[in-house]
Amino acid sequence: MFISSAAELEGIQKISEAVATTLKEMRAFAKAGMTAKELDDFGGEILNSLGAKSAPKLTYGFPGWTCICVNHEVAHGIPSAGKILKEGDLINIDVSAELNGFWSDNGGSFILGEDISNHQKLVNASKNILHKAIYRIKSGVKVSDIGRLIEIEARKSGYRVIKNLAGHGVGRSLHEDPHEILNWCDNDNKQRFRKNTVVAIETFISTASTIAQKGKDGWTLTGDKGGYVAQHEHTILVTDGKPVILTAVNGIWE
């Protein structure tokens, strides 16, 4: 989305605050013994109270208000009643929504309770790489250069990236141009970031896999070689200098 007026900026700020607040409160609410559905219903109540509509439900008919992945799940995890959250689980919550014709997207992986399975290093790498990537973005920067940075930083940390999942433009719909802000360098992609555009930047940092594959439920993605994946995502406004992080209140860097 290209922001061309104060009203448009206000609209994207409001929905970004809504999804960010929902993500932050869901992370704080999550407890061992809770089902993913309980956590998702809590998030749905927050979105509804803010007047926002779940983007995956609205766009794809997804069976949940939010996407919740646990351990080996990579993305689009169904928040089912049979998915019980346990101490030490690697959990990812992705919240996207629409409000008054504006759309925003954010997400984050975290450890539930004590890090008994030693996932924190992976989570920290994902958060740090997202931070480096976002603060490298400004008008004129090649989209492919951000992918190169993410992959290089992942390798430095001893990890890989998921190559068939990506960040994307957002604003007037859930996925807009640029449709693929990859976690690796696609030299054929000649696009550059443009001032006053809104994009969702996300990392997919992996311990083993490089491709996400759809499971039997038709939604949940898992890695082609197993292992674990951490994802972190912010919606930002591109400028000539430092970007404006529209979903900053989600606290995923804290």
Domain assignment present for residue 210? The answer is yes
pLDDT (0 to 100) of residue 227 = 98
Domain assignment present for residue 18? The answer is yes
The answer to whether 177 is a known ligand-binding residue is: no
Over pLDDT 70: what percentage of the chain? 100
Tokens of 204: 């997919």
Domain assignment present for residue 59? The answer is yes
pLDDT (0 to 100) of residue 158 = 98
The answer to whether 168 is a known ligand-binding residue is: yes
Domain assignment present for residue 129? The answer is yes
The answer to whether 94 is a known ligand-binding residue is: yes
Tokens of 234: 């912010």
> For 155-199, how does the pLDDT look when each residue is reduced to its tens digit (9 = 90+)?
999 999 999 999 999 999 999 999 999 999 999 999 999 999 999
Domain assignment present for residue 1? The answer is no
The answer to whether 76 is a known ligand-binding residue is: yes
Domain assignment present for residue 154? The answer is yes
Give the domain extent around 226. 6-250
pLDDT (0 to 100) of residue 37 = 98
The C-alpha atoms of residue 197 and residue 99 are separated, in whole angstroms, by 18
> For 80-113, how does the pLDDT look when each residue is reduced to its tens digit (9 = 90+)?
999 999 999 999 999 999 999 999 999 999 999 9
What band does 247 get if pLDDT is binned at 50, 70 and 90? very high
pLDDT (0 to 100) of residue 124 = 98
pLDDT (0 to 100) of residue 9 = 98
Q: How far is CA 156 from CA 144, 162, 165, 204, 205, in A?
A: 18, 16, 20, 15, 12
The answer to whether 202 is a known ligand-binding residue is: yes
The C-alpha atoms of residue 83 and residue 123 are separated, in whole angstroms, by 21
Domain assignment present for residue 195? The answer is yes
CATH code for the domain of 118: 3.90.230.10
Q: How many domains does the chain have?
A: 1
Provide the phi-psi class of 59: left if phi over 0, else alpha when psi is between -120 and 50, else beta. Answer: alpha
pTM higher than the cut 0.75: yes
